[in-house]
């Protein structure tokens, strides 16, 4: 099932899927974990073209662009790493196999209000933030799965995600913007309840991209694409287990703060390998 909500109106487009059993869900969630980032010795690198030369600079840039709240700035570290694998649709090649700054932000929480009610974040979150050392652009934020919480089905591969976005949503990520956003990540994240009525504090994992995005071949614009993983499934198909966690991506204009749409493409990997 693919769900799109644009400008306050929900339209549901249903694909035909073979029924999945709870056992298949558990198998999907237990697939092999991706390789961990590998630390790189900076002395072995040519840093002459880098705009961001130190961990302090990388951390300061990440905090500024993300609009990180005070609690997340108290326990941080930064290192140069390389990624052997990444599942960002259309843009994974920009993250794989090249030096990146990874800034780790620990012990932060989401401050949200749903209507007039203030919602406490049930998790103390840890986020890995990746930056391009040459351009200084922020590439990705991904929180680590909370300890003691069973993981949901993994994200699909970059190729499958791009195919789903193209086929079902006619959406695309084009590039990482050159200019910094007027709306920070935290402003976009904490505006989701006001704009959509949904609660981001329910998410067990958050994956965020600051990207040039387009839909239906229109002119690309700079957005925050914020994926909330491990949230309750909306409109589950008949017979589908009601407690299976899902993921939804919120597209927020990074210049105006306007909510553009909510989509559940890419889907979790439970749809990627269906039985014949």
- The pLDDT assigned to 70 comes to 57
The answer to whether residue 115 sits within a structural domain is yes
- The pLDDT assigned to 250 comes to 97
The answer to whether residue 140 sits within a structural domain is yes
The answer to whether residue 69 sits within a structural domain is yes
The answer to whether residue 276 sits within a structural domain is no
For the packed helices 185-196 and 55-66, what is the interaxial angle rounded to 10 degrees?
20
- The pLDDT assigned to 38 comes to 84
Q: Please state the domain count of the chain.
A: 1
4 cis-preceded (ω within 30 degrees of 0)? no
The answer to whether residue 103 sits within a structural domain is yes
- The pLDDT assigned to 9 comes to 32
How distant, in Å, are the alpha carbons of 102, 164, 209 from that of 129? 5, 25, 10
- The pLDDT assigned to 28 comes to 41
- The pLDDT assigned to 270 comes to 66
What's the domain range around 232? 2-271
The answer to whether residue 171 sits within a structural domain is yes
> Consecutive 10-residue runs of the chain (276 residues): their mean pLDDT?
40 34 39 70 87 95 84 79 97 96 91 79 94 97 94 94 93 97 94 91 96 95 98 81 86 97 88 41
The answer to whether residue 108 sits within a structural domain is yes
The answer to whether residue 48 sits within a structural domain is yes
């Amino acid at each position: 099932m693919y769900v799109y909500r644009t400008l306050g109106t929900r339209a549901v487009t249903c694909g035909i899927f073979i029924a999945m059993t709870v056992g298949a869900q558990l198998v999907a969630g237990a697939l092999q974990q991706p390789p961990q980032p590998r630390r790189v010795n900076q002395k072995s690198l040519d840093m002459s073209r880098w705009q961001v030369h130190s961990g302090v600079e990388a951390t300061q840039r990440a905090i500024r662009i993300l609009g990180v709240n005070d609690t997340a700035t108290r326990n941080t570290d930064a290192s140069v790493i390389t990624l052997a694998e990444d599942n960002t649709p259309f843009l994974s090649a920009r993250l794989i196999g090249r030096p990146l700054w990874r800034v780790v932000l620990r012990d932060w929480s989401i401050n949200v209000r749903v209507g007039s009610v203030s919602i406490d974040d049930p998790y103390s979150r840890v986020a890995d933030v990746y930056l391009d050392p040459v351009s200084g652009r922020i590439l990705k934020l991904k929180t680590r799965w909370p300890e003691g919480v069973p993981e949901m089905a993994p994200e699909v591969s970059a190729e499958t995600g791009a195919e789903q976005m193209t086929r079902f949503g006619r959406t695309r990520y084009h590039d990482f913007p050159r200019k910094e956003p007027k709306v920070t990540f935290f402003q976009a994240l904490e505006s989701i309840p006001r704009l959509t009525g949904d609660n981001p504090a329910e998410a067990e994992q958050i994956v965020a991209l600051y990207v040039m995005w387009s839909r239906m071949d229109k002119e690309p614009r700079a957005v925050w694409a914020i994926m909330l993983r491990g949230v309750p499934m909306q409109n589950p198909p008949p017979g589908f287990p009601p407690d299976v966690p899902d993921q939804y991506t919120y597209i927020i204009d990074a210049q105006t703060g306007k909510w553009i749409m909510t989509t559940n493409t890419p889907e979790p990997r439970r749809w990627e390998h269906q039985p014949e």
